[in-house]
Chain A
Amino acid sequence: MEHRRIIGETLLKIENVSLGFGGVQALSEVSFEIREKEILAIIGPNGAGKTSMLNVINGFYHPQQGAITFKGEVRRAMRPHQAAVQGIARTFQNVALFKGMSTLDNIMSGRNLKMRRNALWQAIHFGPARREELEHREAVERIIDFLEIQAIRRIPVGRLPYGLQKRVELGRALAMEPELLLLDEPMAGMNVEEKEDMSRFVIDVNEQFGTTMALIEHDMGVVMDLSDRVIVLDYGRKLADGTPDEVRANQDVIDAYLGVPHD
């Protein structure tokens, strides 16, 4: 797919990251880079460590070994709050929305980092807190327009169908105005139309807002169409790293997917 953006310098660098839980080695010495404004796809068979990789990037898991460099700063492990402040947002495989709140409130919660008025101002409401609330409401409404979810603003997200929930979750991540957006199987469980919509959103976000994106995806068609580069993980190791076409032709990758026995 033709992309008109200019892909920039390295935004995120993962070096020799290893992660284990008890006896299970989720990641083994994985290294790769994500460059500004690109769309990177992470693929691999189930259990390959893809979600663990995302969890390491946004600080949920701390690797035993390796280094993460984000926007030039090197650290062994991220912390979730740090990741958020620095501009990393993500969606989850199993939709981690706040089920007790409406669509609007969920997306507004994504603006939390940008709102600064303390409890006292908020208790009074009239004045600075109200202005801030309205200002951010406008920003959120722009996202709601972008994602075409105006009709479900007030509905508690627990009552929404799965496809719409995923869209709301994307909205919440976008509300953070992230530099790096991590998407964990954004198309899972969707039909053809929904996938087309979501793909359109992914491209639009990348082109309009210049957001760098890393997505885990199983649908090869989507991967080939959307991504600039692809990384393949298998049993916690990186198998391949290159353009979609390069990866598609890679024999190791083919073996992994067809199930050739490993040593």
Chain B
Amino acid sequence: MDFLYSITIAPFLDIGSDLIFFAEVLIGGLSAGVMYSLVALGFVLIYKASGVFNFAQGVLALFAALTLVGIMEWGVPIPLAMALTMVVMIALAFAVERLMLRPLVNQEQIILFMATIGLAYFLEGLGDTLWGSNVKKLDVGIPDVPFEAGGMLLQTFELFAAATAGVLVAALAVFFHYTRIGRALRAVADDHQAALSVGIPLKTIWVIVWSTAGLVALVAGIMWGAKSGVQFSLSLIALKALPVLILGGFTSVPGAILGGLIIGVGEKVGEVYWGPPLGGAIENWFAYVVALVFLVFRPQGLFGEKIIERV
């Protein structure tokens, strides 16, 4: 009876009793959510443009962050280091296209998905081999000082992260909808063969897409790395991005953002208010269960395209 009370009524009373704290938890959740969104964004890009579900997206973020730290450790100034890392990511995009995507061009989705799992393992091993696997500190000069607003305690870092994500999303939205390349990307996402037959250069498109995803991964990697250090667990974020994608729909950029925020907030609020009676650490599975419940009622997510099967 006690237990039931503690998971149904008590949490709401807790929330109500200290609204300022609740607001802080919300903000914390939102900022975590922004991080998730960044990773989910990379997924959506690649899926939209090549129909490939890139399991390696999280590892890409980790790899990008590792490379950045490694280059910075050579004494290279930050802006140049970022540019060089970007070059590495573009080179990686070329390699992935040439060695993985091209040979597998007409295989089913599941095969490509498994190939990206292989890619994830490969990149993780490569990153560790090149730069070592101990935790690294990443400092790119983002101000991280607490400040007060409306009675709540916030961090400038969170504001910065949110702003970055916002700029990135806006840029990508413009790119997709208003440029020729963006249109080509959407055509490729729909049907490889058809896109080829109207002369869209598949290979170039894929390199562009994976490079863009690499850029997003780099930003995500920097944000995550600056916050909690660059380490292996970064790649596990990829797994967290999956529930985000489910909520938002696999093909929707706004969906990825919204889904990330919802998951971020849900996790934080759930952990703080429902965690204690359940023994804690419910963050491990909370997002997935939410996604699961969502899937049952709305399989295509908030903004995804409804799949109409034709015979």
Which chain A residues have a beta carbon within 8 Å of chain B's beta carbons? 51, 55, 60, 92-94, 96
Contact = CB atoms under 8 A, between A and B. Distances in A.
B311 interface: yes
Contacts of A55: 311
Nearest to A51: B311
Nearest to B309: A60
Nearest to A61: B311
Which secondary structure characterizes the binding site on chain B? loop
Nearest to B311: A92
Contacts of A92: 311
7 contacts: A51-B311, A55-B311, A60-B311, A92-B311, A93-B311, A94-B311, A96-B311
A112 to B, nearest CB: 19
Contacts of B311: 51, 55, 60, 92-94, 96
Interface string B281-311: 0000000000000000000000000000001
B109 to A, nearest CB: 15
A93 B311 CA distance: 8
Interface string B161-179: 0000000000000000000
A126 to B, nearest CB: 35
A249 B206 CA distance: 57
Contacts of A96: 311
A187 B176 CA distance: 43
Nearest to A55: B311
Interface in B183-235: none
A51 B310 CA distance: 10
A47 to B, nearest CB: 13
A165 to B, nearest CB: 15
A96 B311 CA distance: 8
A61 to B, nearest CB: 9
B311 to A, nearest CB: 6
A63 to B, nearest CB: 16
B129 to A, nearest CB: 39
A94 B309 CA distance: 13
B211 to A, nearest CB: 35
A60 B311 CA distance: 9
A55 to B, nearest CB: 7
A92 B311 CA distance: 7
A14 B237 CA distance: 55
Nearest to A22: B308
A60 B310 CA distance: 10
A205 B301 CA distance: 47
Nearest to B308: A21
B52 to A, nearest CB: 22
B116 to A, nearest CB: 23
A130 B311 CA distance: 34
A55 B309 CA distance: 12
A218 to B, nearest CB: 18
A173 to B, nearest CB: 14
